[in-house]
Amino acid sequence: MDILEILEIAVSRNVSDILIIAGLPVSFIAEGQIVREPDGVLTPAQTQTLVQGLYNIANRPTDTLFQTGDDDFSFSVPSLARFRSNAFRQRGSLAAVVRVVSFALPDREKLGIPNNIMQFADLTKGLVLVTGPAGSGKSTTLACLIDKINSTRDAHIITIEDPIEFLHRHKMSVVSQREIATDTTSYETALRAALRQTPDVILLGEMRDYETIKAAMTAAETGHLIFSTLHTVGAADTIDRIIDIFPPAQQQQVRVQLSMVLRGVVSQQLIRGATSGAVAAFEVMTATGAIRNMIRESKAHQIDSVIFSSAAEGMISMDTSIINLIKAGKIDRAEGLRCAVNAEQMQKRLMA
């Protein structure tokens, strides 16, 4: 099989990812399970040919891959789909993991993204963070929020991504999409430039380091609406991660700044469904007065209890979200307990 045939098979089978690694057959991830093709294992020469094929389709040089050992990029195949690829070296051979992305934007109702998350799209300023482990659907949730803004109001939206995953057409808004390495050198450079490009909304693909987090908070402080992601689990951990990345002498100032600009934190994870596929569970925190005080006073550890008791204000804890999925029959009890933040407490709540 050549690389185009592999991409076509992946789309026809509705898989999420393709694994091209020497010593294994071409493999597909479907509904969270790895399915290996029966065509025999790939040699290093074959994986090099397939990876080179990805670069040929993307019309991209392999310089970054050979200089650094890994490379992220995206590309489209007309009439087929869009793909996000990570190429890398392993055991001296080339390999790649390719994510399949539909040309169509995700349907938030089919994905189960609730209204209390979509309401963040109605904000006009501040910082909204979508968090969770890799592969938990953060980019999908952000794409739904951006599409709602694009569909409902007149705004200039700038996205800064590495790489661009979902393509947004201009609707009521104007959408400028920039890709790291292709359109700009770094998140920090693009974010600073974005402030001179009359944005109303900025989507920052990931807050990776001190410089990017500092620039994002400054942008939110100057009256822009900023969406971004972190690889954290839970609102309290997210706030601690942001604070801890700054030098100790600056941390109290950052707590005050973050308490002023933060509007909400969404934490999500994908859980294996009771019948098939994966189901999303969400924790939602909105920045109420009580939450802001806790951030300022370095009491982030108390935030979980506020989320648990603030359903009337649109908040929901991760474990409550999982319990709701169990009761609705969407996930198995054992799977829910495995993914719980506090499995012992969840067990008691399920028995009550």
Q: Is it true that the peptide bond before 38 is cis, omega within 30 degrees of 0?
A: no
Beta partners for residue 86, in sequence order: 72, 97
**Which domains are delineated in the chain?**
3-101 (3.30.450.90), 108-351 (3.40.50.300)
- How many residues does the structure list for the chain? 352
What confidence score (pLDDT) does residue 203 get? 98
What confidence score (pLDDT) does residue 65 get? 95
Look at the block and give the residue holding tokens 């495995």. Answer: 338
Q: Answer whether 0.85 is exceeded by the pTM.
A: yes
What confidence score (pLDDT) does residue 32 get? 76
- How does pLDDT run along the chain (352 residues), one tens digit per residue? 899 999 999 999 989 999 999 999 999 998 778 999 998 899 999 999 999 999 999 999 999 999 999 999 999 999 999 999 999 999 999 999 999 988 889 899 989 999 999 999 999 999 999 999 988 999 999 999 999 999 999 999 999 998 888 999 999 999 999 998 889 999 999 999 999 999 999 999 999 899 999 999 999 999 999 999 999 999 999 999 999 999 999 999 999 999 999 999 999 999 999 987 889 999 999 999 999 999 999 999 999 999 999 999 999 999 999 999 999 999 999 999 999 999 999 999 998 7
Question: For residues 34 and 28, is the Cβ–Cβ distance under 8 A?
Answer: yes
